[in-house]
Amino acid sequence: MRKPIPPAKPKKSQYGIDPNLLKKRMAELPGITSVTVKELFPDTPDVIYPSEAGKEAIREATIKSLENVDMSMIKPENSVNICASHHGFTLLGGEAYTEMLKTVRDEIIRRTGCRNVRLRAGVGMRLRETEEYIKAFKLDEYFEGKAKGVAPIDKGIPIETEIGTLYGLNAIYDADFVVHCHNSDVREVHFHRQVDRAVKPFGMSYARAETRSTYHQNLGPRGANFTARAIFNSEFVQKKFAFATFLNMSPAGVVGVVSDNDLYKLNEKLTFDGLKYYGKIITLFGQLSDCIVGLDFPCPVPYVFASGVIYANFVSANVDLFNLESLAPYTWYTESFYGKDGKPLIPEIPPVNPKIKMVIHNYAWSGYPSAFFSTHTPTIVVGREQADLMSRCPMNAKYMDHAVIADTLDAAMEFAYKVTGTDKVLIFDGAAGGINVSESLAKEMLEKAPIVAEKVDNELMPIWLKQRGIDPLALAK
C-alpha cells in the first residue's frame, strides 16, 4: 500500500480556523493510501510544476510563452494593470501562480521600459482573500507598493456591451492597459461548463456585484457564460486589453504557461486542453460507488481539491458536467430552484451525487454560502471552533442547522464508517499529483480508470467539442 501524498498545508486566514487547532489530517487516518493521476491515466501529460526545478520552471516557461506576444502598444509613460484572481493562489500552494505574476511584471518592464506596472488581484466572496496572499507572498514589495486586492463591492465603472450595460471594477481598469493573468484548471465547471473558461474573470473577478449577479441570476445556467464575453468584447475593454498569460493546468499540476494577444485563440486551446486533461478524472469520479468524503484543504467547502478537481464537481459528478444538454446538480441556479418543501420546483433538476454518503468537514473555510451542501449530504464538522466559524459567517448562518459536530476526526470517522456501511473514503486535501483515498477506493479507481479513459476519448470528447464549436483538427493546425 502506497503512503498517502502529503496534503496541502493549512493556512493562517481570517476565513479559516487557526491552523494550530487542526489536530489531525485525514491522510493520517489508518487505511489511507494514494493513487497518482498518472497511474489512473497514463496519457496524463508531464508537468513542469511541481518538479525538481521548482518555481524556476514557471519563470522559464512564462518568459518563453511571452516571446511571441506583442507588447509594442505599451509605452514607457503608460500604466499597466496585471489582473489576477484569488483562485491561482490556491493552486499547489500558490507559488507557481505568484511566480508567473512576477515574471509577467518583469518582462513588461524589461521589454517596454514601462515601470508603472501594478497588480490588481480580484476575489470571490472572501473580500480580503487576495490581500492575504499579497502579504503572504510579499507581492506588495515586489510590485513596489502597487499591489492591491479588489472586491466586487468596490467602486465600479459602467461598461457598454452588446447586451446592455454591465459593470466592472474601477481599480481593474484604472490603467492604460490590462494584462489578464489566470489559470486554466476547470474548477467551477458546474458554473462555467467549460464555455469561455479563459474569458470568465472579466465577468467575475474583475467585475462589480451587478455583473456577477447577472451571471448567477439573470442569464441562466449556460447562457451566463456570455456575461464575460460581452464585457471582454466591449470597446472599453478592447482598447485596454494587451495580452493574457495562463498557467495551463492538469489534474497532476502545471503543464505549461501559455500567452497570447488573442484571448479567444488562447480560450480555444485551453477549452480543448481542459476537456482532455480533466474530462477523464471527473468522469471517473462520477463512476465511483458509495463513499465517505473528507474536506481537508484551506478553501471554502466547495473549493477543496482532490487531484485538481474541487468538491463541488464531485457533488455534481453524477451528471456529465461537460455535456451542455444537462443541468448540473449543483449551481446557484439549481440551488435557487428548490422550493420550500426542499424539493426541486421542476423535475429536470438532478439530485446531488447520491454516492456521497457522508461528508467529514475536517478543515475547510467559511466565506462562501455552503448550506446547500450540508442540507443535501449528511455532514460532520470536526471541532466546535470550526462549527462556530461557520455559524459566525454571514453567508453560512444555516450551515450548522444541518450538520453535527464531532470532537475529533477519529470520532467522526468511527461514526461515518458505522452509519454508512462503506469503507471507501475520498479525501479532498490538495495532495499534489494524485489523490488520497482508502485502499478499497484506490482499487476501484484503478479498475475503472481504463474503461473511463476509453469512453472519454472515443465517445464523450467528440460530443463535448462539437457542443462548443471546436474543431480539433483546426486547432492542431
Partner 1 sequence: MRRVSLLAKVDLDTCIGCKTCERVCPTLTIKVKDRKAVVDEQRCTGCGGCEQRCPVFAIKLVERDDPYTIEFKIVPEMKDKVDELCRKAKFHPEQIICYCTETRAEEVAAAVLAGNDTPEKISAATGIRTGCKIECVQPILRILNAAGITPEKPEGYQWYGLTPTLWDINEDVKKRYSDGGFRFDDDIEVFEKVINAKK
Q: Is 382 exposed, middle or buried (0-12, 13-18, 19+ CB in 10 A)?
A: buried
Count the alpha carbons within 13 Å of 78 in the hemisphere toward its beta carbon: 19
- Scanning 37-45, 91-99, 111-119, 121-129 for contacts with partner 1 by CB under 8 A, the matching segment is 121-129
Q: Judged by CB, which is closer to partner 1: 247, or 324? A: 324
Identity of the residue, 221 or 253, whose beta carbon is nearer to partner 1 in the bound complex: 221
Integer angstrom CA distances of residue 184 from 51, 278, 333, 405: 19, 10, 23, 36
Cell representation of residue 93: 500552494
Alpha carbons within 13 angstroms on the beta-carbon side of residue 477 total 4
Asked if 153 touches partner 1 (CB under 8 A), the answer is: yes
Neighbouring CB atoms inside 10 A of 407's CB total: 11
| Cβ 90 to partner 1 shortest distance, Å | 18
Round to whole Å and give the CA distance between 338 and 341. 8
The answer to whether 342 contacts partner 1 (rule: CB under 8 A) is no
Please report whether residue 384 would count as binding partner 1 according to CB under 8 A: no
Judged by CB under 8 A, does residue 135 bind partner 1? no
End-to-end CA distance of the chain: 44
What's the burial of 162, exposed, middle or buried (CB within 10 Å: 0-12/13-18/19+)? exposed
Task: Work out how close the CB of 259 gets to partner 1 at its nearest, in angstroms, rounded to a whole number.
Answer: 23
- Judged by beta carbon, residue 388 or residue 439, the one nearer partner 1 is 388
Closer CB to partner 1, residue 212 or residue 276? 212
Per rule CB under 8 A, is residue 337 in the interface with partner 1?
yes
C-alpha cell at 235: 470597446
Instruction: State which residue, 183 or 396, has the beta carbon closest to partner 1.
Output: 396
Contact range with partner 1 by CB under 8 A, out of 58-66, 134-142, 386-394, 435-443 = 386-394
Considering only 36, 78, 112, 225, the residue that binds partner 1 (CB under 8 A) is: 225
Residue 446 within binding range of partner 1, rule CB under 8 A: no
By CB under 8 A, the count of residues binding partner 1 is: 65
Angle between helices 439-455 and 263-287 (to 10 degrees): 130
**H/E element, 104:** helix 95-112
Stretch that binds partner 1, among 83-91, 103-111, 158-166, 379-387 (CB under 8 A): 158-166
- Binding to partner 1 by residue 372, rule CB under 8 A? yes
Q: CB of residue 201 vs partner 1: minimum separation in angstroms? A: 15
Q: In the structure grid, which three cell numbers stand for residue 23, read together?
A: 489536530
Q: Does 417 bind partner 1 (CB under 8 A)?
A: no
Distances (CA, A) of 45 to 27, 39, 278, 445: 26, 12, 11, 19
The grid coordinates listed for 208 are 462589480
Helix (H) or strand (E) holding 299: strand 291-300
- Pairing of β 403-406 and β 253-260: unpaired
Of 51, 116, 261, 467, which lies in the binding site for partner 1, with binding defined by CB under 8 A? 467
Q: Is 172 in the site for partner 1 (CB under 8 A)?
A: no
236 binds partner 1 (CB under 8 A): no
**Which residues bind to partner 1, rule: CB under 8 A?**
125, 127-128, 151-156, 158, 162-167, 193, 195-196, 208-214, 216-223, 225-226, 229, 324, 327, 332-333, 335-341, 345-346, 348, 368-369, 371-372, 391-392, 394-398, 467-469
